[in-house]
Amino acid sequence: MIVKNKIILALDVEEEKKAFSILENTTKYLDTIKIGYPITLALGPQIITTIKENFDVKIIADFKVADIDATNEKIVRNTINYGADSIIVHGFTGEDSVIACKNAAEKLGKEIFLLTEMSHPGAERFLKPVSLEIAQMGVELGIRNYVAPATKLDRLEKIRKIVGKDSFIISPGVGVQGGEAKETLQYADAAIIGRSIYNSDSPQETLKNIIQTII
């Protein structure tokens, strides 16, 4: 996967007008966005299709899929049929659940991102103890794409060592949560940035300034 300027916009807004305004002002500088439950619950999953019809961007659906295998297959299939290019899935649910996601995506010519560890403090208690095992499971299953936290560089570095240099890591937590883009990109292939950009008075200028820090 190639991400322009190594920045992914987390578009966690809830109004279509605001979403389109942000995209109109930022897609000159980025070509990949991450959308999750806020915008899809507010506007319906068809917003994925609408964005794809109006903007030349790749969409990562951040649905953190975490159910049994049969349900996971339906979630992934329907999400991709709306136009998503890839989908983020949890690894803690185990091998069968993850394989169902991987197979469903690949049947449609798409890929999954395996979530190893999250960027918020609460992940310390339950995800941190198993995140390296999740990464190792991903390697064993032949998964190429991963999510690992920008707020915990030591963990990000360890996950990179496990998945190898040829795997693709995207990293949330840059900006409001405290992660720094340049430091994150020592280990990740792309930094995910949301609130710092979409809550800015000038999303375009904020994005340009962030890009300048990593050149």
Contact 33, 11 (CB under 8 A): yes
Provide the pLDDT for residue 176.
87
Mean pLDDT across 145-161: 97
pLDDT digits (tens, 9 = 90+) for 19-28: 999 999 999 9
Give residue 155's pLDDT: 96
Q: What angle do CA 6, 12, 18 make, to 5 degrees?
A: 100
Strand partners of residue 86:
60, 111
**What b-and-e string marks burial along 172-194, b requiring 16 or more CB atoms within 10 Å of the CB?**
bbbbebebbbeebbebbbbbbbb
Taking 80 as the threshold, does the pLDDT of residue 148 lie above it? Answer: yes
Residues 73-132 have pLDDT tens digits of: 999 999 999 999 999 999 999 999 999 999 999 999 999 999 999 999 899 898 989 999
Residue 53 has pLDDT above 90, yes or no: yes
Q: Is 64 a catalytic residue?
A: yes
Helix orientation angle between 153-163 and 128-140, rounded to the nearest 10 degrees:
20
Q: Residue 1's pLDDT is what?
A: 83
What does the H/E/C string look like for 150-203? CCCHHHHHHHHHHHCCCCEEEEEEECCCCECHHHHCCCCCEEEECHHHHCCCCH
DSSP string over 107-165: HTT-EEEEE---SSTTHHHHTHHHHHHHHHHHHHTT--EEE--TT-HHHHHHHHHHH-T
Note the pLDDT of residue 129. 92
- pLDDT higher than threshold 90 for residue 31: yes
Tell whether the torsion through CA atoms of 79, 84, 86 and 92 is positive or negative. negative
- Confidence tier at 166 by pLDDT (50, 70, 90): very high
Percentage, residues of the chain above pLDDT 90: 94
With a pLDDT cut of 70, the percent of the chain lying above it is 100
Instruction: Give yes or no for residue 52 having a pLDDT over 80.
Output: yes
Mean pLDDT of the chain: 96
Q: Give all domains of the chain, ordered by start, each with its CATH number.
A: 4-214 (3.20.20.70)
215, pLDDT greater than 80: no
Out of 4, 64, 110, 208, the active site residue is 64
